[in-house]
DNA sequence: TGTAAATTTGACCATTTGGTTAAATCATAT
DNA sequence: ATATGATTTAACCAAATGGTCAAATTTACA
């Protein structure tokens, strides 16, 4: 592939990513993606054959970047308190940079689990490792007993929810844009605090 | 309106609700709604004029049932520990009966906040009441200080997340359908425990 | 029962949308 | 320079989709 071609293919992927993430598969229009990329619509099919294939290219790339950092941190050899602190900080930072990814992934997987779950399967996140560490720290009297599946989901839920449900939460709490931004900043310490106060003895 | 008409209108609303909640606005097809309701497609327009209007009818009804029970419980005159316990139990029961509602609402509001936020505005949920109660129980030495906005979002996030992100969580944890169902059951006590252990002194 | 209004239907329409194609343009290598 | 292959475009196509309408059917009631 020549330079021009590779460049175009990338422009398309970037534009498609932007449009699909905001509008979802059904709501996205090939013409809009072409416009966003500043190219002719036929080029989308020249490089990616079909809307479905283009979407798969976007989704698989998004899915591939979903877990590696999380996995790496979960496997790190540090105490669980530090692990949680870092995890929350890292996760909120990632969400701040890509606030629409979670809703996009959730929406895609809910409307079409059979076809897209395969991109999640190879996440490699292993709750057993975390479970082992928990049991170790429990036996050393540092934290109380808790199942890794609950702890992990609790933390991730508290991080993600204010982003996916932003319009609702912001409306119910009567916040302006900047106020909500500050609220999101606050949550870093709040979540860490909340979790540590719950599990530490 | 005659009996036949009222009945048809209701059948349509029920069918439309089912289809819209699963497929979303863009993914839903008027023909599919008509089939599901067992009627001719033209009747959809006879009763609701357009797809948009029909969707609004569905969404406004869903939105109207989103907060009243929550609001009522938040305003109840019981201690905060009991309040949290009941809240989690009630919320998980509601989610068990309508597991797809949160993802539907989140998705709708993210793709079109301007047009649908108005159905949320009148929720009447007032975090200040909860804040007052928290401050009261803090002064009586029962719980630690925490902002109502964080406590409420934390609890709701932990309840909702395993439902909206079910395919991902179930896959990552390698669970079968029944296992996940049991996991969801477990979460009732887990969440309550998790929260109370965090805020009680 | 007869009739006027409401309800229901099948056929049809216009637009949108994903996709195709043949021609034009560009880049590259000899 | 120019021939070859890759890239890009405008015009076009077929299917799907939301929506309309006139005719048929049912319902209500005088």
Count structural domains, chain B: 2
| SS3 label, residue A143 | strand
pLDDT, position A124: 84
Give the pLDDT score at A6: 72
Q: Are residues A132 and A80 in the same domain?
A: yes
| Dihedral (Cα; B124, B129, B131, B134), 10-degree rounding | -140
Domain holding A122: CATH number? 1.10.357.10
Contacts of residue A120 in chain B, CB cutoff 8 Å?
167-168, 171-172
Q: Determine the pLDDT at residue A2.
A: 47
Same domain, B41 and B70: no
CATH number of residue A41's parent domain: 1.10.10.60
Q: Select from B11, B38, B60 the last residue of a domain.
A: B60
* Residue B111: partners with Cβ closer than 8 Å, 6 or more residues away: A22, A23, A24, A27, B24, B25, B26
Domain-ending residue, one of B38, B60, B82:
B60
Nearest residue: Cα versus C1' of C10: B40
3-state secondary structure of B126: coil
Residue B71 shares a structural domain with residue B40: no
* Average pLDDT over all residues of chain A: 95
Integer Cα distance of B72 and B49 in angstroms: 35
- Which of A153, A177, A181, A196 to probe the B interface (max B CBs under 10 A)? A153
Give the integer Cα–Cα distance in Å for A112 and A92: 27
- Pick out residues whose CB falls under 7 Å from strand D: A 1-2, 4-5, 7-8, 39-43, 46; B 2-4, 28-31, 41-42, 45, 49-52
Complex ipTM, two decimals?
0.93
Residues A93 and A142 in one domain: yes
CA–CA gap between residue B130 and residue B71 (Å, rounded)? 10
d(CA A186, CA A164): 17
User: Residue A45 CA to nucleotide C23 C1', Å?
Assistant: 18
Residue B1, pLDDT > 50, answer no
Q: Do B104 and B40 share a domain, yes or no? A: no
Measured over all CA atoms, what is the biggest interatomic distance in chain A, rounded to whole angstroms?
64
Mark which of A42, A62, A82 sits at the end of a domain: A62
Residues A87 and A166 in one domain: yes
- pLDDT, one tens digit per residue, over A56-97 is 999 999 999 999 989 999 999 999 999 999 999 999 999 999
What is the per-residue pLDDT across B5-59, written as a single tens digit (0 to 9) for each?
A: 679 999 999 999 999 999 999 999 999 999 999 999 999 999 999 999 999 999 9
CATH of residue B169: 1.10.357
Predicted local distance difference test score (pLDDT) of residue A4: 63
Q: Same domain for A78 and A119?
A: yes
**Has residue A174 got a pLDDT over 60?**
yes
pLDDT digits (tens, 9 = 90+) for A152-168: 999 999 999 999 999 99
Residue B4 — very low, low, confident or very high, per pLDDT cuts 50/70/90? low
pLDDT of residue B3: 53
Where in the sequence is the domain holding B188, given as residue range(s)?
A: 65-199
Q: Assign B151 to helix, strand or coil.
A: helix
| pLDDT tens-digit series, residues B108-162 | 999 999 899 999 987 888 999 999 999 999 999 999 999 999 999 999 999 999 9
| Spatial distance from the CA of A47 to the C1' of C22 (Å) | 18
């Amino acid at each position: 592939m020549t330079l021009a071609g590779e460049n175009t293919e990338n422009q398309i992927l970037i534009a498609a990513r932007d449009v699909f993430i905001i509008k979802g598969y059904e709501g996205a229009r090939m013409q809009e993606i072409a416009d966003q990329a500043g190219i002719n619509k036929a080029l989308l099919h020249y490089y990616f054959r079909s809307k479905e294939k283009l979407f798969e290219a976007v989704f698989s790339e998004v899915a591939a970047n979903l877990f590696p950092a999380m996995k790496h941190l979960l496997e790190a050899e540090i105490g669980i308190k530090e692990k949680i602190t870092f995890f929350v900080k890292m996760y909120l930072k990632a969400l701040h940079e890509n606030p629409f990814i979670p809703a996009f992934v959730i929406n895609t997987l809910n409307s079409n689990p059979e076809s897209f779950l395969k991109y999640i399967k190879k996440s490699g996140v292993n709750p057993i490792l975390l479970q082992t560490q928990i049991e170790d720290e429990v036996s050393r009297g540092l934290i109380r007993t808790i199942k890794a599946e609950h702890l992990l989901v609790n933390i991730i839920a508290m991080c993600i929810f204010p982003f996916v449900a932003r319009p609702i939460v912001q409306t119910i709490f009567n916040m302006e844009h900047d106020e909500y931004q500050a609220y999101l900043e606050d949550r870093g310490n709040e979540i860490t605090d909340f979790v540590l106060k719950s599990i530490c003895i």
